[in-house]
Amino acid sequence: MSVKHFIEVMPEGTLEVLSQNEVNRLRSTGEGGHHELLRRCALAVLNSGATSDDTREVLEQHRNFDISIVQQDRGVKLGLRDAPPGAFVDGEMIRGIRELLFAVLRDVIYINSEFVAGGQLDLGSSHGITNAVFHVLRNAGVLKSGVEPNLVVCWGGHSISREEYDYTKKVGYELGLRKLNVCTGCGAGAMKGPMKGATIGHSKQRIRNGRYIGVTEPGIIAAESPNPIVNELVIMPDMEKRLEAFARLAHAIVIFPGGVGTAEEILFLLGVLLHPENEGTPLPLILTGPESSRAYLELVDGFITGTLGPEARKRYEIIIGDPPAVAARVQANVRRVRDFRHAHNDAYYYNWRLRVDDVFQQPFVATHESMARLEISRDLPTQVLAANLRRAFSGIVSGNIREEGIRAIEQHGPFEIRGDKAILDQLDRLLRAFVEQHRMKLPGRAYEPCYRVVV
């Protein structure tokens, strides 16, 4: 069902003028064109609030949706055909969705002009990639100078229990009362709950400019459409740059229960923090959940300790069933980050000091060959083992929700993960628990594993 067969949407204070070259690329469906990328990301925004976590299902359900650039003397408009009806009220597009729609246009243009079309950004070095992440965030207006550190990144799954979801709201509420802002992966579940809670905390504190930042990337945005609370949306070029953006924006990170995507995020961050050059750089990390999630948190804790060792365990703390304690601890840690950056004359808005190795920055494309080649061995340096485990989880995410990953599994069967038996036993135990706890797919839907652990 659609509101109208075709409507035109005016921009709101951004991207009112495009070059002819930009328009041609956005219209083009051929090689070098960006039309399909724009279409998918725009559909995700317009489909905000949807429950499907299957990219192909979303695209098939709205297969007649299309977007076009309407160029006129006074600027540009977007033309939408068969748009999802939830984006409108009484035939008029919801203002927040319109803002996010043009954020999509902004990021698609910038990413493809600077990354794909051979812009000025250097993607051949680790520092160059870090600089590129900075430029995407700056172009999106996310980096705010002259503001005290107050941004808490919240990670967690989109497929969580009601009790876990309510807990994320309670933590978000406590963060909002302490005048802290929230950044998540922008989707449902543990990505929405902290934002929803923070809006109430901010309202009680009469904060009218609360920030609810969503950071995503093209491969998963259709499966994790931005939730309605997001008021600043950023689309990064790929998962690796998305993860680095989180790490460099955060003044503290809170992790709620989740599945393989959350495990991927944890392994990325711990792998980065385990680099010797990051030993003295504070990036507080708290794992938390309600009392009913104790077994999950202990399972994740045991997996980390058993694979990455006691040094990794030192980089995070666990707080169970106590939202005020979580928020109070976050607030104290944010002050510690502020004092450290002030003492070292570092920017509050972007963590330049954090060392992120190339192994965590290069995009990993999950194929049967690349998954089978992953080296998972205790002989590897700890941060490299963390990087390869992160890639294994990334491959499972791809097989679960990405269109290309789902297609590869259908054609060639499950991905195979090979390596050290002791590590793979722990990995298999963790993944089996995720399946049993319905953390791989939305509740009520049967899960067919897209992977096979080969011992």
Q: pLDDT tens across 419-438, in order?
A: 999 999 999 999 999 998 88
Q: pLDDT tens across 240-298, in order?
A: 999 999 999 999 999 999 999 999 999 999 999 999 999 999 999 999 999 999 999 99
Between CA 432 and CA 421 the distance in angstroms is 16
DSSP 323: H
CA angle 402, 404, 406 (to 5 degrees): 65
Q: pLDDT tens across 330-373, in order?
A: 999 999 999 999 999 999 999 999 999 999 999 999 999 999 99
Q: pLDDT tens across 83-114, in order?
A: 988 889 988 889 999 999 989 988 988 888 77
Closest to 423 in 3D by CA, of 302, 312, 317, 258: 302
Between CA 222 and CA 61 the distance in angstroms is 12
Domain ranges of the chain: 6-120, 135-455
Between CA 16 and CA 339 the distance in angstroms is 41
For residue 253, what are the contacts with CB-CB under 8 A and spacing of at least 6?
A: 152, 153, 154, 155, 246, 269, 283, 284, 285, 286
- Number of neighbours of residue 201 by Cβ within 10 angstroms: 21
| Block residue for tokens 């995407």 | 136
Instruction: Tell me whether strands 88-89 and 92-93 are parallel, antiparallel or unpaired.
Output: antiparallel
| Block residue for tokens 């106590």 | 322
Q: pLDDT tens across 220-233, in order?
A: 887 788 999 999 99
Average pLDDT over residues 236-240: 94
pLDDT band at 71 (very low <50, low <70, confident <90, very high): confident
Mean pLDDT of the chain: 90
Q: Inform me whether the pLDDT recorded for 75 exceeds 70.
A: no
State residue 1's pLDDT score.
Answer: 44
4: its two tokens: 């109208």
Q: Locate the DSSP E strands across 73-166.
A: 75-81, 88-89, 92-93, 151-155
Lowest mean pLDDT segment, chosen from 33-47, 56-70, 252-266:
56-70
pTM attached to this predicted model: 0.92
State residue 2's pLDDT score.
Answer: 44
| Helices and strands, counts by H and E, the chain | 16, 14
CATH number of 6-120: 3.30.1850.10
Average pLDDT over residues 58-71: 83
Between CA 426 and CA 416 the distance in angstroms is 16
Fold that domain 135-455 belongs to in CATH: Rossmann fold (3.40.50)
Average pLDDT over residues 186-213: 96
DSSP class per residue in 44-63: HHHTTT-----HHHHHHHTT
State residue 257's pLDDT score.
Answer: 97
Closest to 451 in 3D by CA, of 397, 404, 407: 397
